[in-house]
Amino acid sequence: MLGAICGDVIGSVYEGHNVKSKQFPLFSKKTRFTDDTVLTVAVADAIINKKYFGATIHRYSNQYPKAGFGGKFRDWMKSKHPKPYGSYGNGSAMRVSPVGYAFDTIPAVMRLAEKTSSISHNHPDAIQGAQAIAVSIFLARNGKSKPEIKSYIETEFGYDLNRTIDSIRQTYKFDVSAKGSVPEAIIAFLESTDYEDAIRTAISIGGDSDTIACMCGGISEAYYKTIPADIVDKVKQLLPPNFLIIIDEFYQKVVK
Ligand SMILES: [Mg+2]
């Protein structure tokens, strides 16, 4: 999950200013955590402390209302009795990484991913996007190879993962739909050589950079098993103490 958070933080300044290149500074003065991080921590908190996903995500989002939440999600946040609103966006795939560690079987991971998604993002595309990221993480952390992960995701989710990042980069535009950003995040992981390269690759296509890097980063951490220490240190300095407590607890109790 820290891999997802680092991706969000590094991508934070590139969502509004796409780079379309793998050469860019990882951190700048404006680098910050965004909504992806807030809700990833919320999902982790709900898992380790056995809380309701809907109530926990609602509470966290209202504690950090300026983290970059989208318009319709803001309405959901403000509602006293929030209901799923048919979103097919990537908002549930960006927060799902802890789910990939929570269970030891694919069906259990699939069910939990659906649960975390359907409290707000109950459109089949959004649920599928969250499940695809969670299952990719599950397969990666269980030692599956990239060809194995690619073929499983293609077969089960119907995503076209045969495109190259170079070809995507040429025409890719801002697209917050799950269908239009989850497969691209997975391709960035498949093409990468290590964690940092995965984040650079994900951001280089442009679009919703923090979220694409977040989704790609969650899988890449599970696969490469390590995130460079200087990246983790920098990112942790930008997180509130209550997030760090949940993150530490999640690694102790769930990731191990
Ligand atoms: Mg964001």
SS3 of residue 113 by DSSP: helix
CATH of the domain at 46: 1.10.4080.10
Residue 231 pLDDT: 98
pLDDT digits (tens, 9 = 90+) for 198-251: 999 999 999 999 999 999 999 999 999 999 999 999 999 999 999 999 999 999
Q: How far is the CA of 65 from the centre of ligand 1 (A)?
A: 12
Q: How far is the CA of 91 from the centre of ligand 1 (A)?
A: 9
Residue 54 pLDDT: 98
Residue 116 pLDDT: 98
pLDDT digits (tens, 9 = 90+) for 175-204: 999 999 999 999 999 999 999 999 999 999
The residue range of the domain holding 247 is: 2-76+84-255
Q: How far is the CA of 210 from the centre of ligand 1 (A)?
A: 5
Separation between Cα atoms, residue 234 and residue 241, nearest integer Å:
14
Q: What does the H/E/C string look like for 117-159?
A: HHCCCCCHHHHHHHHHHHHHHHHHHCCCCHHHHHHHHHHHHCC
CB 205, CB 168: distance < 8 Å: yes
Helix/strand number for the chain, H first, E second: 14, 0
Q: How far is the CA of 197 from the centre of ligand 1 (A)?
A: 20
Per the structure, how many domains does the chain have? 1
Mean pLDDT of 26-41: 98
Residue 132 pLDDT: 98
Q: How far is the CA of 12 from the centre of ligand 1 (A)?
A: 7
DSSP calls for 180-239: TTHHHHHHHHHH-SSHHHHHHHHHHT-SSHHHHHHHHHHHHHHHH----HHHHHHHHHTS
Q: How far is CA 155 from the centre of its chain?
A: 21
Q: How far is the CA of 33 from the centre of ligand 1 (A)?
A: 8
Residue 142 pLDDT: 97
Q: Measuring CA to CA, which residue among 38, 49, 12 is closest to residue 202?
A: 12
| Res. 71 pLDDT band, cuts 50 70 90 | confident
Q: How far is the CA of 70 from the centre of ligand 1 (A)?
A: 9
In percent, the amount of the chain with pLDDT more than 70 equals 100
| Res. 88 pLDDT band, cuts 50 70 90 | very high
Q: How far is the CA of 209 from the centre of ligand 1 (A)?
A: 8
SS3 of residue 12 by DSSP: coil
Mean pLDDT of 90-95: 98
pLDDT at 167 over 90: yes
pLDDT digits (tens, 9 = 90+) for 49-61: 999 999 999 999 9
pLDDT at 256 over 80: no
Q: How far is the CA of 59 from the centre of ligand 1 (A)?
A: 17
Separation between Cα atoms, residue 59 and residue 77, nearest integer Å:
8
Q: How far is the CA of 232 from the centre of ligand 1 (A)?
A: 18
Residue 55 pLDDT: 98
CB 214, CB 36: distance < 8 Å: yes
Mean pLDDT of 102-115: 97
pLDDT at 252 over 90: yes
Mean per-residue pLDDT of the chain: 97
Q: How far is the CA of 175 from the centre of ligand 1 (A)?
A: 13
SS3 of residue 45 by DSSP: helix
Mean pLDDT of 69-74: 93
